Amino acid sequence: MTYAGVATPDAAVTRTGGTALTPPGFTWPRCRECEGSMEFLAQIRLADTDSGSADSLSIFMCQNDPGLCDEWDPTAGGNRAFVFGPEATETPPVPDDGIALLDETAAVDFEPIETGGSPTTASR
């Protein structure tokens, strides 16, 4: 995955930052440890890696007290990942508590890599 330039905060592309595109009625996740809003980190359009998928993966992590909410632990409640279907086209209200958004929004491209002598390519 490589930097592909600036993206708009609600772009329907693989990107870091901005706000998640979600299905109707989505509630912004809260940290199980500190109960603050989680920061939206990235949206990955799975069609970029699997041409048969219209789903997206949205990744959130607590940054309210870095290191204190065990955001590195996959089961402690300081991080969440959601797989949304093609109905995920809405931008939910951004909470005004906690650290909810990254400072910048960047598009991401997928580059070919060498794996065991044969190239593997996932492109957007």
Q: What's the confidence (pLDDT) of residue 118?
A: 56
Task: Please state, in angstroms and rounded to a whole number, the distance separating the CA atoms of residues 82 and 103.
Answer: 21
Residue 57: is it exposed, middle or buried by C-beta count within 10 angstroms (0-12/13-18/19+)?
A: middle
- Contact between 101 and 10 under an 8 Å Cβ cutoff? The reply is no
Per-residue CA distances from 123 to 48, 50, 111 (Å):
6, 9, 7
pTM: 0.84
- pLDDT one-digit tens code per residue, 71-108: 888 888 899 999 999 999 999 999 998 899 999 999 99
Task: At 45, give phi and psi (nearest 5°).
Answer: -80, 115
Chain-centroid distance, C-alpha 22: 11
Q: What's the confidence (pLDDT) of residue 70?
A: 84
113: pLDDT strictly greater than 90: no
Q: Would you report the helix, strand and coil content of the chain in percent, each value rounded to 5?
A: 0, 35, 65
51: pLDDT strictly greater than 80: no
Amino acid at the residue 61: M
Task: Please state, in angstroms and rounded to a whole number, the distance separating the CA atoms of residues 8 and 103.
Answer: 12
Which secondary structure element, helix H or strand E, spans residue 118, and what is its range?
A: strand 118-120
